[in-house]
Structure 1
Amino acid sequence: MQLQELTGYGAAIVAGLVIGLAGGGGSILTVPIFVYLFRIEPVMATTYSLFVVGTTSLVGSVSHILRREVDFRSTATFAVPSFVSVFIARWFLVPAIPDPLLELDGFVLAKQDAILYFFAFVMLFAARGMIRSSEPKADKSAPAEPPRYGLLALDGLAVGLLTGTSGAGGGFLIVPMLVLLAKLPMHRAVATSMLIIAVNSFVGFLGDLHRNDLNWRFLLEFTLFSTGGILIGIYLAQFVAPMPLKRGFGWFVLVVAGYIIVQEILTSRSML
């Protein structure tokens, strides 16, 4: 096994570790890992990411379900509209993207490159949210507000579209919305987020099951490492404050997003 592949499997553990600690965020790394460490083309990388993120999050959510930390009403409110938009994105939107996406005065933007640019933008947005994140504190002097399930369902539609298009689980968006809209405490929001991510990701992956070029052996090996990471993360979450970790990971995601953008620009120039 080459050093680059060993690094990739090590990164799979880190991705699972972050999901276990913070309820999301680690999945934002899986597409870059597949593209730059395993040399998998971007569309297939999003397919693999959906399976890995779905399996890893499902395994992680089991322990939370057993501890009764998952809010199933919030899960259903968010997940039902979300997996509808995930399904639409994987079956109709992604296949409908033309290749090349843009041709203008000799400049050609291929579909694969467009997906990576979009993913880098998602990473920048996620990094900003992680760096600026803080645990919302309830104002005990103010009257308790009821959960806003309508807004939560609309947020589910948007996150599902993001998941289906980019292969990211969207945990960096789901956890804050569960706290703000469903009025869940942070530990329950993290637990509920894992189950939502699992549902979203598997629905998205179903849209690509018709492909006959899936490397199942590699996919299962990678998922095994990622699953090991999330089990470690869930254990360490008992001792590690999630917010400082999330901010530090946000800076790391920012660097990776910058690398993707620079790499794609240099690749485009070398092809001119």
Structure 2
Amino acid sequence: MVLSVALLGLMAAGGALIGFLLAVLGAGGSILLLPLLISGAGLPTREAVPLSLLAVTLLAVANAGPYLRRHQVAPRPALVLGVPALAGSWIGGTLVKQGLIPEPVQLAVFAAAALVAAWLLSRRQRGPGGDRHSSQPRRPGGTLALAGQGVVVGLLTGIAGVGGGFAIVPALVLLAGLPMSLASGTSLVLIATNSLVALGALGHWPAAGLPLLAPLIAGGLVGAIGGQALAPHLSDRRLRQGFAALLVGSALLTGAEALQRQRSLSAAGPPTHTVPHQK
């Protein structure tokens, strides 16, 4: 794959934004990566999803370091949400690998997830409450709800190639009662493990898109360093509002791409299945 200077710059800039958002929010940056790879780099979804998961894993690990050093990871909520999420990632990735989810459906699921993420972020504007420093669920059904959220996050990761932090952070804050700093650190650890499992379930190494990985990661590391330095001085409310707007734009872009690819499939006619079990 030959990379133009413009494409290198686009990947580096996108990676910087993603790294910045992961460092500041512990979420969100990865959901911008799929439209960047599909609409920006022109990759097919089969290549874009595993490449997205690989980049998300590496950037989440890089951003999780400072949180781990500060002990800002909550083990119990991580296990309650994380174990079901791993199962969901494997299931979602396996469904995609077996061809049970068409490409337009993958993109439509992604667009819907981005819109839901924007709604969650705009809805969650209040500051931490009195019990936010507890790592226990805020209500009796909190543990079950947190586990259920984990399954949903995992399915989204396996199907759409997103890390799921946009849903993990609100779940940890609202259902487990964690403060934002603890939720962000826990989210990054879960994003890394979740994405890695989904990548394994897909069983497809994105060889054609690997040249894009270097500028993405380089930009992501620069964005992460900047985000970690600026995070203490940034308004959480303004960050969430800005990111919600980015998510809406990402959803509209990906939704339009899904419609275009569905029209292309319809114009090409139904696929033939004369020998469905032949390898």
Give the TM-score range, shorter chain: 0.7 to 0.9
**Which residue of structure 1 aligns with residue 170 of structure 2?**
176
Deviates more, 1:45-54 or 1:255-264: 255-264
**Which residue of structure 1 aligns with residue 275 of structure 2?**
none
**Which residue of structure 1 aligns with residue 150 of structure 2?**
156
Q: CA RMSD in A?
A: 2.4
Unaligned runs of 5+ in 2: 268-279
Instruction: Provide, for residues 180-225 of structure 1, a one-character-per-residue CA deviation record: whole Å limited to 9, x for no partner.
Output: 2222112111111111111111111122455473543432442232
> CA offset at residue 67 of structure 1?
0.7
Give me the whole-angstrom Cα distance separating, in 2, the residues matched to 1:37 and 1:125.
23
Deviates more, 1:259-268 or 1:246-255: 259-268
Deviates more, 1:201-210 or 1:54-63: 201-210
- Report if the CA contact (8 A) 1:20-1:60 is conserved: yes
> CA offset at residue 239 of structure 1?
0.8
Unaligned runs of 5+ in 1: 102-110
Asked if residue 93 in structure 1 is aligned to residue 87 in structure 2, the reply is no
**Which residue of structure 2 aligns with residue 121 of structure 1?**
112
Question: Once superposed, which parts of structure 1, at least 4 consecutive aligned residues long, lie more than 4 Å away?
Answer: 266-272
**Which residue of structure 1 aligns with residue 210 of structure 2?**
216
**Which residue of structure 2 aligns with residue 72 of structure 1?**
75
Give me the whole-angstrom Cα distance separating, in 2, the residues matched to 1:73 and 1:64.
16
**Which residue of structure 2 aligns with residue 240 of structure 1?**
234
CA distance 1:145–1:76, change in 2 (3 Å): closer
Give me the whole-angstrom Cα distance separating, in 1, the residues matched to 2:124 and 2:58.
26
**Which residue of structure 1 aligns with residue 10 of structure 2?**
7
What percentage of aligned pairs have identical amino acids? Answer: 28
- Report if the CA contact (8 A) 1:136-1:179 is conserved: no
Aligned length: 257
TM-score norm. by structure 2 comes to 0.83
Give me the whole-angstrom Cα distance separating, in 1, the residues matched to 2:164 and 2:217.
18
CA distance 1:119–1:75, change in 2 (3 Å): same
Q: Which amino acid aligns with 1:95?
A: K
CA distance 1:116–1:241, change in 2 (3 Å): same
Secondary structure class of the residue paired with 2:233: coil
> CA offset at residue 46 of structure 1?
1.1
- Report if the CA contact (8 A) 1:135-1:186 is conserved: no
**Which residue of structure 2 aligns with residue 200 of structure 1?**
194
**Which residue of structure 1 aligns with residue 124 of structure 2?**
133
